[in-house]
Chains A and B, each alone.
Chain A
Amino acid sequence: MKSFQETVGTISEWSGKFVSYFIYIGIALLAIEVVLRYFWNAPTVWAHGYSQRLFGSYFILVGAYTLLKDGHVRVDVLYVRYGPKGKTILDLLNYGLLLIWSTVLLTEGWTFFLRSYRMREVDEMVLAHPVYPVKFLLIIGVLLIALHGLALFLATLKKIVRGDK
């Protein structure tokens, strides 16, 4: 049980750190595009399409890392006034809602991806490259945060069952 939580934590940590570096690739892609267009009058067809894919994946994949680093900010005005038991119940509500939402994103996301994959969906720009890989990464990003949410939910539940403080 403990090891499940630890494993999930490690996955979130490493996936998050890895994805963090996407930002540098994105900066380079977009800056190169401006330079090529402005100084050489030679805009690319791929820079925008691929920054779009890169940043889209970045957005969804950093969710779990943000959760790990406690970055999904909460209004704690009432929270801080409760005792340990009250806090545990509020945590359960918090992670419970995350679980409900991410489960739906996961199952519906799968259908969403399959639909796109079956018709080999491409983007509507000149580029016309496949869109479904990004939709696949949507599932991965959601899976990461769902797993982390599940681990935290179970850990909180255990506290209640055992009556820990």
Chain B
Amino acid sequence: MSPELLLTIGMFGGLVFCIIFGVSLAYALGGVAVITTLILYGPGGLMPIVSGVFNYMWMLLLAAVPLFIFIGVALSKTKIAEDLFNAFYLWSGSVRGGLAVGSCCLAAALSAMTGNNAASTVTTGLVGIPPMKQRGYKESIILGAIGGPGTMGILIPPSITLIVIGMMTGQSIGKLFAGGMTSGLFIVFTFIIYILIRAWLDPSLCPAIGVQVTLREKIYALKSIAFPLLIILSIMGTIFGGIATPTEAASLGCVAVLLCVLVRGELSGKFIKETAYTTAVTTGMVLWIMFGAAGFVAVYSGGGGVAFMQQFFLSSELNRWTLFVIMQGITFLLGMFFDPMGIILLCVPIFYPICQTLGFDPIWFNLIFNINLCLGYITPPFGYCLFYLKAMCPEIPMIRIYESVLPYIVIMLVDMLIMTFIPEIITWFPNFIMR
């Protein structure tokens, strides 16, 4: 057995062991890196573990992570999302399954304002679940219509995973965001079609609301779109317009949110404090995983592991599409257990050079990879969004939550297949907007 293979089995085996027995991903990554270094080189080789941490601290692009988290936290503490859902409710409530469609749209809109899945899933759930329950929607429809579209938080820009992928591959964040937007909207569109078909097949699943809403009321409700639109434009407009870097755009988004909160009269000392505290805790979680992964990857790469894995894939003489399926399959499997940030930091250094050697479009490849990470949020046993759903509906057994999101996992896999055969769904907008 070659030493690199031994290193791979040792490090990844140790990591998986730690994770399964409940060690935090950050500590597991850092701890395994330290132990491996001590075995291989002794205490003299430990420096890369700390210099890797500093590299990430010194990366201004990463400042976008807490800023996008901030926007999500701030939005969840206001009633902006509630008003938005109300507008969707008035416009689509009279259709069978209309509230579920409204939830999809709300999740997409929140995804376009925030960078992670916590905000899109939890806020959509808190706002969308009560009215759907009240109208007699079945739980499988309710939970699915929140869990599935909620994962678009890291696909529809801004997205903290796309930022980290861009950082690691050197690809333009603007292009990645543009591709994330079209592919994300496409996926939401397929979700909506699915809900409408199910509602049409089984009327008892999600009845329409009986009340007739006048056009006047509908148009009046549109005013609640103004705030979200301002926030989205301040972020995406400045990035796509070439006015601001992604980090600066994120800060403009924060300013826009704070302004909206101020105008709505919801700004208070409590809001300012709690938003800052919650943002700090979530940022600490994400960044410390990156700090741990920095050491882990430095040690693995220094021991020849990364080169070994690339060699292993490329010399296998498999068809490029077979390799593509294997890489996505590994990502999918890892997604069932690992945090997406950890998967990016572990897999991208190995996969991305292979993708380049095989001649895949880098933007397209990274986005398919990112959609795969979205799936990781709702694949059992450990998908974060499943736990968010469970926390919001404690009375529903976990197995029912798995069943509710299963169709959405299948739809997303089919969507990935479609986007593999029609890559233009992902690539036309990035190419259109940026030369």
| Chain A interface (Cβ < 8 Å from any Cβ of B) | 16-17, 19-21, 23-24, 26-27, 29-31, 33-34, 38, 48, 51-52, 55-60, 62-63, 65-67, 69, 71-79, 90, 93-94, 96-98, 100-102, 104-105, 107-109, 111-112, 131, 134-135, 138
Interface size class of B (residues with CB under 8 A): 35 or more
A100 x B62 contact (CB < 8 A): no
B281 x A71 contact (CB < 8 A): yes
In the assembled complex, the CB of B344 is this many whole angstroms from the nearest CB of chain A, namely: 16
Once bound together, how far apart are the Cα atoms of A78 and B287, in whole Å? 25
Q: Could you tell me which residues of chain B, from 137 to 182, have a CB within 8 Å of some CB in chain A?
A: none
A66 x B284 contact (CB < 8 A): yes
Contact A97 B243, CB 8 Å, known A33-B248, A72-B284, A138-B57: no
Which residue of chain B has the shortest Cβ distance to A109 in the bound complex?
B50
Once bound together, how far apart are the Cα atoms of A131 and B283, in whole Å? 23
A62 x B57 contact (CB < 8 A): no
Once bound together, how far apart are the Cα atoms of A24 and B247, in whole Å? 14
A138 x B54 contact (CB < 8 A): yes
| Residue B227 at the chain A interface, CB threshold 8 Å | no
Contact A93 B58, CB 8 Å, known A59-B283, A71-B285, A72-B27: no
Which of A34, A65, A102 meets B280, CB within 8 Å?
A: A65
By a CB distance below 8 angstroms, the chain B residues around A66 are 280-281, 283-285, 288
B277 x A101 contact (CB < 8 A): no
Which secondary structure dominates chain A's binding surface?
Answer: helix
By a CB distance below 8 angstroms, the chain A residues around B248 are 30-31, 33-34
Contact A55 B339, CB 8 Å, known A72-B24, A105-B49: no
Once bound together, how far apart are the Cα atoms of A66 and B60, in whole Å? 21
By a CB distance below 8 angstroms, the chain B residues around A38 are 243-244
Which residue of chain A has the shortest Cβ distance to B283 in the bound complex?
A62
0/1 per residue, B325-363, Cβ < 8 Å to A? 000000000000101000000000000000000000000
Which 8 pairs show the lowest CB-CB distances between chains A and B? A66-B284, A97-B31, A101-B30, A56-B57, A30-B251, A79-B22, A55-B63, A20-B276
* A75, A93, A138 interface centre (most CB from chain B within 10 Å): A75
In the assembled complex, the CB of A37 is this many whole angstroms from the nearest CB of chain B, namely: 9
B13-21, B214-222, B315-323, B371-379 - the one binding chain A: B13-21
In the assembled complex, the CB of A75 is this many whole angstroms from the nearest CB of chain B, namely: 5
| Residue B303 at the chain A interface, CB threshold 8 Å | no
In the assembled complex, the CB of A135 is this many whole angstroms from the nearest CB of chain B, namely: 7
Once bound together, how far apart are the Cα atoms of A94 and B33, in whole Å? 15
Once bound together, how far apart are the Cα atoms of A17 and B276, in whole Å? 8
By a CB distance below 8 angstroms, the chain A residues around B196 are none
